[in-house]
Amino acid sequence: MIPRLGEKFEVNVETISKAREQYSSAEYLAQKLPKAPAIMIGDEVVIEGAVVSQEMLESAICRHLGLPEPAIID
């Protein structure tokens, strides 16, 4: 989902994947990064420690880019 949204909004996407143990290491905690799994856009933590919906992620991308947020269809 994330690479596809990167293409849709023409933004760079960086994915960081580490072993589970590394996310609880002192080195990781010292970096002040969010609890994994997490999604950050710029300095904004969109979600951490949970699954994010595509709609929530698209809205966050639009806010970051100064675009109107997409309408959510029920």
Q: Which amino acid is at 1?
A: M
Q: Which residues lie closer than 8 Å to 14 by C-beta, 6 or more apart?
A: none
- Tell me how far apart the 2 most distant CA atoms of the chain are, in Å: 43
pLDDT at 65 over 70: yes
Q: How do residues 11-62 score in pLDDT, each as one tens digit?
A: 888 888 888 888 888 988 898 888 888 888 888 898 998 888 888 889 999 9
- Of 62, 52, 70, 48, which is closest to residue 1 (Cα–Cα)? 52
Task: For residue 18, give the 3-state DSSP assignment.
Answer: coil
Residue with tokens 């994947």: 17
Domain ranges (residues) in the chain: 2-65
The pTM score is 0.75
Rounded distance, CA 28 to CA 22, Å? 7
